[in-house]
Amino acid sequence: MNGSDIIVQVLADEGVDTVFGYSGGAILPTYDAIFTFNENRARTPNEQIKLIVPANEQGAGFMAAGYARASGKVGVFMVTSGPGATNCVTPIRDCMADSVPVVLITGQVPTGAMGTDAFQEAPIVNIMGSCAKHVFLVTKPEELEATVRTAFEVARSGRPGPVVVDVPKDMQNAVVPFQGEGLLPIRGYRQRLESLRSARLSDRKCKQFFELLSRSERPLLYVGGGIISGNASEELRAFAKAFNIPVVTTLMGLGAIDTTDELAMHMLGMHGAAYANYAVEDCDFLIAVGARFDDRVAAQPDAFAPLARAVAHIDIDAAEIGKVKQVDWAHVGEAGRSLVQLTEWGQTNGFKKDFGPWLEHCRALKEKHAWNYDRDSEAIQPYYVIECLNRITDGRAIVATGVGQHQMWAAQYFDFREPRLWLTSGSMGTMGFGLPAAIGAAIACPDRVVIDVDGDGSIRMNLGELETATTYNLPVKVLLLNNLGDGMVRQWQKLYYEDRFSGSDKSLHRKDFIKAAQSDGYGFAVRVTRKEDVEQALKDFIAYDGPAFLEVMIDTEAGVYPMVGPGMTYRQMVTGDFIAAREQPVPLTKGPIESTDMF
């Protein structure tokens, strides 16, 4: 077989049903191979590989990421050399930051032309090397098959992540035997994986954990995206219920526990629930699982969970243990397996402790410091829009977002009853993520309602993907919360820069998003400007059979609260005018922030 046919056959062998990508000269042989592969399976369309063509390569990357996040499978995208490949740097880094398994296949100029500044040449190994989990450059045609197979192994195993395979054009055209099996000899990596898979908690370590738990009166589970990527949600829920321990999640951990569950304390962090952050302040034993003490959660690590007499940490990545916060008990291993072992040991050894007073305290926190906003305002409040949509979808829709205020409102006011319903760019905070990610999710989960909650600033970044949804008749629901500017930047400028709205007013008020959606083929394209029309418009929007676009003109002054300022502690959290604060916080606007402080 020639190299391009080998690539496509390996994709099929790995269970790939969809490739997202944009063609070009250096990858044309492999695109042609997809056409031939599908033509030979014309009578068995379920065995074909769908090819989804976006508006640009970044969109392809985020579609593959949305597909992977929603399905748990490896997402695949394929682009040409030079600018095609460099347009994928952002989605690759985004997937690395959020531990999302994708494989990117990039075309490259022929090996003989590499290093000559040939047409559409870019040094992908150098560019992607610091952004991806691993980058392969194929220079021997007989290694192509094993390289592509190994890329999938690396992407999905251990701590998942993105893998890039750079394939020069002559490697795609070379003719070599197809083996149908085989991997590259990456012995050290496989040995580390085997040690992770076989890692078991000893009786001694289990006993130490439960000794810490027995001395605790106020234990709290702090859960991150590792539970989602590790498919450990069931094990987490079983552990929490077995020992009656409340759970707070990071932004990436939403859905790890049903947010409507009595043990769920929702999201913690910079814009987390006030009651979640107060629970962190009050707990005396913090149990971190699949979480990394990110700066949006623990801006001051020493002051994070200040009353905790002990901190435990379970993670698949040894580098995360003690990286930010020192812990008293730790285990490197798969989250699900580790939680099962702890649950079984505790039950077998008859561990019982009444955490009733602590659970009652947490219930009181949830009641007193619940999410809230100005419900009497005549202007449309974004929180109200999300609340209405949440009632309609009952916490069972897949929700993708862009990045900004709308992202935080969606995280706060939606319920997530299952894992893999929440797709957002967490660590990288990439504007333009939401729409293409929703398209990828709609392909991965055709029976689900898929909603992109977006902002007018964020959606502009990949607005061209509106046409992708209609081209493939994907019933993605695009909800645009339009506040005529970069709302999150404006919020910071109000707080820290004395209302100097440099660049954030956008000055881009000419865009008629409804006409744009209509021009891209949306049969449902509606704008809402009155509060009394919101609920019915949302019902029509969700009920519409096909791609739908709903623009809601929201209060331009609406902010995201609670808010923990940069470098501050939960004790200094500002809850705004409508969420009850437990104590008087330190004023947020103490003066200009340093340029080194996080955004």
Give mean pLDDT, residues 419-438: 97
Is-catalytic flag, 172? no
Task: Kindly state the helix (H) or strand (E) to which residue 452 belongs, with its residue range.
Answer: strand 450-455
**pLDDT band at 301, cuts 50/70/90?**
very high
Looking only at the bridges linking them, the beta strands covering 75-79 and 102-108 are parallel
| CB contact set of 425 (below 8 Å; sequence gap of 6+) | 94, 98, 402, 403, 433
CB 289 within 8 A of CB 236: yes
Is-catalytic flag, 573? no
The predicted-structure confidence for 456-512, as pLDDT tens digits, reads as follows 999 999 999 999 999 999 999 999 999 998 989 999 998 889 889 888 876 667 889
| CB contact set of 165 (below 8 Å; sequence gap of 6+) | 103, 104, 105, 106, 135, 136, 138, 147, 148, 151
| CB contact set of 36 (below 8 Å; sequence gap of 6+) | 5
**pLDDT, position 503:** 86
For the chain, the structural domain boundaries read: 3-186, 199-368, 382-553
Which residue is listed with tokens 């590259």? 184
**pLDDT, position 510:** 81
The predicted-structure confidence for 187-227, as pLDDT tens digits, reads as follows 999 999 999 888 899 999 999 999 999 999 999 999 999 99
Helix-strand-coil split of the chain, %, nearest 5: 40, 15, 45
The predicted-structure confidence for 248-272, as pLDDT tens digits, reads as follows 999 999 999 999 999 999 999 999 9
- The residue from 119, 179, 344, 360 that is catalytic is 119
Is-catalytic flag, 145? no
The predicted-structure confidence for 346-403, as pLDDT tens digits, reads as follows 999 999 999 999 999 999 999 999 999 999 999 999 999 999 999 999 999 999 999 9
Above pLDDT 70, what percent of the chain?
Answer: 97
Give mean pLDDT, residues 64-86: 98
- The residue from 73, 133, 169, 366 that is catalytic is 169
Which numeric CATH code is attached to 3-186? Answer: 3.40.50.970
**pLDDT band at 588, cuts 50/70/90?**
very low
The predicted-structure confidence for 280-289, as pLDDT tens digits, reads as follows 999 999 999 9
- The distance in angstroms from the start CA to the end CA of the chain is 51
What ranges in 450-579 are assigned the alpha helix state H?
A: 456-461, 465-471, 487-496, 513-519, 534-543
In 271-411 the beta strands, taken as DSSP E runs, fall at 285-289, 310-315, 329-332, 398-401
Looking at per-residue pLDDT, the higher value among 595 and 396 belongs to 396
**pLDDT, position 504:** 84
584, pLDDT greater than 70:
no
Tally of CB atoms within 10 A around 374: 16
Give mean pLDDT, residues 576-586: 80
CA distances from 305 to 90, 221, 412 (A): 34, 12, 21
- The residue from 14, 57, 153, 334 that is catalytic is 57
Name the CATH topology of 199-368.
Rossmann fold (3.40.50)
**pLDDT, position 586:** 46
Mean pLDDT of all residues in the chain? 95
Give mean pLDDT, residues 408-428: 98
What's at 334, amino acid-wise?
E
Is-catalytic flag, 57? yes
199-368 against 382-553: fold identical: yes
Above pLDDT 90, what percent of the chain?
Answer: 92
67, pLDDT greater than 90:
yes
**pLDDT, position 508:** 62
Tally of CB atoms within 10 A around 584: 6
Give mean pLDDT, residues 60-70: 98
The predicted-structure confidence for 311-350, as pLDDT tens digits, reads as follows 999 999 999 999 999 999 999 999 999 999 999 999 999 9
- The residue from 1, 50, 114, 120 that is catalytic is 120
Residue 20: phi and psi, rounded to 5, are -100, 135
Is-catalytic flag, 169? yes
Q: Which two tokens stand for residue 382?
A: 């974004």
566, pLDDT greater than 90:
no
594, pLDDT greater than 70:
no
Pairwise CA distance, residues 404 & 166, whole Å: 33
Which numeric CATH code is attached to 382-553? Answer: 3.40.50.970
CA distances from 333 to 2, 194, 252, 514, 583 (A): 41, 11, 19, 49, 39
- The residue from 78, 171, 270, 488 that is catalytic is 488
